Structure 1
Amino acid sequence: MTHLPNLILDLGLILGAAGITTIIFKKLKQPLVLGYIIAGLLVGPHIAIFPTIHEIENIQIWAEIGVIFLLFSLGLEFSFKKLVKVGGASSIMALVEVVVMLLLGYLSGKLLGWSTMDSIFLGGILSISSTTIIIRAFEELGVKSQRFAGLVFGVLIVEDLVAILLMVLLSTLAVSQQFAGTEMLNAVLKLGFFLVVWFLAGIFLIPTFLRKASKLMNDETLLIVSLALCLLMVILAAQVGFSPALGAFIMGSILAETTKAEKIEHLISSVKDLFGAIFFVSVGILINPETILTYAGPIAIITIVTLVGKSVSITAGGLMAGQGLKTSVQSGMSVSQIGEFSFIIATLGLTLNVTSDFLYPVAVAVSAITTFTTPYMIKLSTPLYKFLEGILPEKWKRSLNEYSSGAQAINTTSDWKIVLRSYVVNLVLYSVIIIAIVLLAARYLNPFITDNFINGQYGDIVTTTITLVFMAPFLWAFAVYHPQKEALGRLWANRNYRSLLIVIEFIRIGLSILFIGFLLNQFFPVQVSIVVGLAIVGVLAVFSKKIQKFYIRIEQRFMMNLNAREIKAASKMHHTLTPWDVHLTSFDVSHESVVVGRSLLELQVREKYGVNIAVIERGDRTIMAPTRQELIFPGDRIYVFGSDEQIEKFRKFVQSEADLQVERDRAEDVKLQQLVISETSPLLGVTIRESGVRERTKGLIVGIERKGQRILNPESEFRFQVNDIIWIVGSPWRIKALEAVNNAVIDIR
């Protein structure tokens, strides 16, 4: 009989057990993750009824590969653009939850008498929810289209990034074995630096490579190339001191921005499922049932802390973000579980030998219990909301409603805010790029040149010259480039701001000179660096136009790669919707646009310009076939369907009217205001059209509350009655002026 290696025997046993439990759990309609864990428990060394694996060490290596591909797959679904599109509400909710659960986990561990490191890792384990379990529960319950589901998806995106940060911080803490604020700050800055470098370099290089090689790639080749890129980033991350899982996640998020993202995700799914199953089975193998029985009390306590802590913290975060009681409660009840990232954090503690053996099975047990409770928690969210609404005092409910409405104010963005934000973004991005180029030149390029081509000082000169060529476009962008020329021009037109703008320009130029000095100081004495640096500034000034053209080409290539998926989607939409001499195009609504706050009925775009607004994109929400009562908000992307002449006419209308509006009206906030009709109000008994509220306040009535019922976007023939609460999107000072005109007979809140 031919001898089989134990690795193959173990792998066959693992996959056989996983296959059987998968079928059973599919039949029971339970999460497959729990089935894999139970399969590992059955074939592990702690249960002798079934065949047992021979070499746990080999299985742990397979499990590490599983973590890599699991994180790679999560990165493919992540996309940094999704993080940018996540609203402030989801970010606030996620951050509140993470902070609260880190604290509760740590305190729970200390109260149970655990060590400091066990308590810290417990906090990290409890702070991250399970994306897989939540998505599956939403699909089964049919709530994916509800408002709170969108908020929860945003929370999960932020949590994924926080989990990566936690892995870095916990690794640093485990190595140092002390709360060193300096080391933690260095770890965060180091992570941020490499994230920016990897993302910018990846987006610039990888989509271009995939596009140029696309004709040579079939499914097999694309799969191999994707896995190779993943493992190369894993190696790179390990080389600079990060976990391999982080490298896999970063490469996945880079590939998520390419046109091949969906194809790669489809091809990688089988590989991910295979190694993911091995990982989760290995989780079960490490569980000792006796440990779970021994720590049944702590497991029960930690489960309650997880269910209550996550629900309350997310609900509190939602209320802080102005999302209302119902949405906040539904969101909080949906994320009360732990999952994949929690296992990875627990595995990290074991790998670093800083956590006790019992913490891992305790985390798995809590995850199993909270996985089962997730659907029931979601179902109980609505009854809980009704219960809370019934017991809360009217004053509290009114305050929550007012706060929720006030948090939805639409604030105009000032020119200063636009310009300063662009300066800060440029400062961070170009500083990181320039520093990365200098460090690469000093550590790798210079040794390569001096060892293989030119020795001594001449080798340093050659290295400096090559590095300056690569740095030049980014130095120019750092010191001279103005991405917000229109806003900057409006500020420059005001003489009061010119001196400050000049100071900012000098600061940018001064920092650029310091970067040149930073490069020269790597190879030459300080005195030589100063003299040569000033000479280099002069040379760069002479070749400024050529450097500018080169930089613009770099920026265009980067933006084309970054927006490749959207460009491809738009081109498909363009070809499928142009049977006549018409097409679909899109443009963004600026904060100053005159269409902001106005409904499609009011704009009458079809009647006046012959075009149709087919789709409105608002953050991560897409409004298909919007009704005539739909309002336009700043930052919306509207898709307009019509001929070239009609679209151009509509575009000119929006832009010219926006310019006139900016000149005519002073800068002001637009907020959601509340008015109550009294018995002596002149608006009593008149219709919305007759009231003249729109003309007087330059606002729009978007809702009316009457006897506890809410009417959204009322018709213009709607008549006001006593105690009607009117909701107006408009300027606060104009609404107060309306109050004065009516001799304060309208009660304004």
Structure 2
Amino acid sequence: MTLPIAAAADAADALGTLFIVLLAAKLGDELFRRLRQPAIVGEILAGVVIGPSLLGLVEPSTELDLFAELGVVLLLFWVGVETRLSELTAVGRAAFLVGVLGVVLPLAGGFGLAEALGESFSTAVFLGAALTATSVGITSAVLVELRALRRPGGRTILGAAVIDDILALLILALAVGLVAEDDFDPTGVVLTTLLSLAFVAFFALGGTRVARRWPQLLEAPRFAESPLLPAVLLCLGLAAFAAKIGLAAIVGAFLAGLILAETRERVPVEGEIAPLYAVFTPFFFASIGVSVDLDVLLDWKALALVVAVTAVAIATKFIGAWLGARSLGPRDATLVGVGMVPRGEVGIVVASIGLSEQVIDKELFGVIVAMSVLTTLLVPPLLRALLARERGDIDHPQAVATGR
């Protein structure tokens, strides 16, 4: 069976795009590893180079978005498999404070900046919303690379990210409702929030309990020759479920990983997921670079606005997260503060909704995208520097282990 000519041409274009993106991402990865820099930064900058702003080899597309979404879903699934619920509950209070303060301060900062610039109330709400949610995929990848995922600061970031996402969902729903006041349904917002909380609680508590009681869970299906297939089905199912109720798909993927972390097939799943992780996650990081519009930086007023918005985004998120994590000690509090800074694709999605609702113009949209990318690029080198400094303190293992 052959495809029609038009369909075959579209398929060829899509495959060509995916080939260019993956090749460029891995070349960026290779270069930055040789320079002893975070590979993630190389993959993002590779996206900038091949994207519309420079070479123009790749444009944002549905296919690239799909592969990028699969990449970040598999990334958080991997992180979930590497984490146990008991490790998260051990830092529960700190994670809650980090999640709340890390949303409230950026929201207030973004809103205040927009008001100071004379923007409308609706625009101020959307700018504040764009600064709230953390792109935990960026930080998680760095922590995996540097093998720091299981330290208190790393676990706090993961727990705070779930709270962060629920609060950001609520703020975004309120922002959209305030713009379209005729259609605003506060009951719907409350129900969505309660459903999100119930979803997280049910699968984090109930799912892990089931997995602990029946640790052979992944061996039961006879259609699977290895635990990988049922594991991926669970991952995609919970990711889709989370997206349906308004949460980020990565929350569902992370919860699926948490559940599988309690089964006796955890180690085989880690080994079998690794190749999928290696193939798909570069699309996620490169797609962030592809979305960059460097033309925004050519106008000095827009550039000044980029600097101002980025400074507010970094300062408010860092301070809020650092204050929430103080109980972990100064080292881990600093790690959490830096790790919560990236906005990545989350800020871009909020800005896109604001643009479609006509409360954010194209210039401010470009500014928010630039802020999202800049906060993403700054964090990996900072995290590496923080952890390298601690590894230089290897003669004092107790201090390193506790982060104090």
Question: TM-score normalized by structure 2?
Answer: 0.74
Give the Cα–Cα distance (whole angstroms) in 2 for the partners of residues 118 and 225 of structure 1: 39
Q: Does 1:361 align with 2:362?
A: no
What is the one-letter code of the residue matched to 1:153?
G
Give identity over the alignment, percent.
21
In the alignment, is residue 119 of structure 1 matched against residue 127 of structure 2? yes
CA contact (8 A) 2:81 2:258 kept: yes
Query: What is the alpha-carbon distance in structure 2 between the residues aligned to residue 105 and residue 122 of structure 1?
Result: 8
Distance in 2 between the 1:261 and 1:351 partners?
Answer: 38
1:344-372: CA deviations, max 9, x gaps? 42243256445663122321023213444
- What is the match of residue 167 of structure 2? 166
For residues 282-301 of structure 1, what are the structure 2 equivalents within 5 Å? Answer: 282-294=287-299, 295-301=302-308
- Determine if the alignment matches structure 1 residue 103 to structure 2 residue 112: no
SS at match of 1:124: coil
Counterpart position of 2:66:
61
1:173/1:245 CA distance change after superposition, 3 Å: farther
Runs (5+) with no aligned partner, structure 2: 1-7, 391-400
* Separation (CA, whole Å) in 2 of partners of 1:106 and 1:152: 29
Alignment of 1:525-540 (within 5 A): none
Residue 194 of structure 1 is matched in structure 2 by 199
> C-alpha displacement at 1:120, in angstroms?
2.4
Aligned 8 A contact 2:73 2:250 in 1: yes
**What's the offset of the Cα at 1:29?**
1.6
Give me the CA root mean square deviation. Answer: 3.9
Tell whether the 8 Å contact from 1:287 to 1:360 is kept in structure 2 after alignment.
yes
Task: Compute the displacement of 1:150 (Å).
Answer: 4.6
Counterparts of 1:223-242 in structure 2 under 5 Å?
223-242=228-247
TM alignment of 1:172-571, pairs within 5 A: 172-173=173-174, 175-177=176-178, 182-199=187-204, 202-203=207-208, 211=216, 214=219, 221-294=226-299, 295-317=302-324, 321=327, 327-328=329-330, 330-337=331-338, 342-349=343-350, 352=353, 353=356, 357-358=365-366, 359-375=368-384
How many residues align? The count is 367
The verdict on how the C-alpha distance between 1:244 and 1:138 changes in structure 2, with shifts beyond 3 A counting, is closer
Decide whether the 8 Å contact of 1:311 with 1:336 is kept in 2: yes
Q: Residue type matched to 1:363 in 2?
A: S
Deviation of the 1:126 alpha carbon: 6.0
5-14 or 370-379, larger mean C-alpha shift: 370-379
Q: Secondary structure at the match of 2:295?
A: helix
Unaligned runs of 5+ in 1: 382-620, 623-749
Query: Aligned AA for 1:7?
Result: A
Distance 1:192 1:269, change over 3 A: same
- Note the C-alpha offset of 1:373: 4.1
* 1:366-407 CA-partner distances (Å, limit 9, x unpaired): 3213444445567899xxxxxxxxxxxxxxxxxxxxxxxxxx
1:192 deviates by 2.0
Over alpha carbons, which structure has the higher Rg? 1
Aligned equivalent of 2:394? none
User: In 1, distance between residues paired with 2:313 and 2:389?
Assistant: 16
**Partner SS for 1:221:** coil
* Matching residue of 1:37: 44
Q: Which has the higher contact order (CA 8 A, sep 6+)?
A: 2
AA aligned to 2:162 is: L
Paired residues of 1:41 and 1:47 also in contact (CA < 8 A)? yes
Report the counterpart of residue 14 of structure 1 in structure 2: 21
2:32 corresponds to which residue?
Answer: 25
CA gap 1:170/1:96 in 2 versus in 1, 3 angstroms: closer
Distance in 1 separating the partners of 2:258 and 2:177: 30
**1:214-269 alpha-carbon deviations (Å, 9 max, x no partner):** 38889963212211122222343345454433332322222222222233233212
Q: Which structure shows the higher helix fraction?
A: 2
- How much does 1:119 deviate? 1.5
Question: CA shift at 1:132, angstroms?
Answer: 3.4
- Tell me, in whole angstroms, the C-alpha distance in 1 between the residues paired with 2:210 and 2:303: 52
Asked if the contact 1:125/1:363 (under 8 Å) is kept, the reply is no
Where in structure 2 are the equivalents of 1:649-728 lying within 5 Å? none
Structure 1 pair 65–133 and aligned structure 2 pair: CA distance change class (3 A): closer
**Closer, same or farther in 2 for the Cα pair 1:230/1:116, shift >3 Å?**
same
Is the counterpart of residue 82 in structure 1 residue 87 in structure 2?
A: yes
Deviation at 1:109, TM superposition (A): 4.0
Residues 262 and 163 of structure 1: is their aligned pair in 2 closer, same or farther, counting only changes over 3 Å? Answer: farther
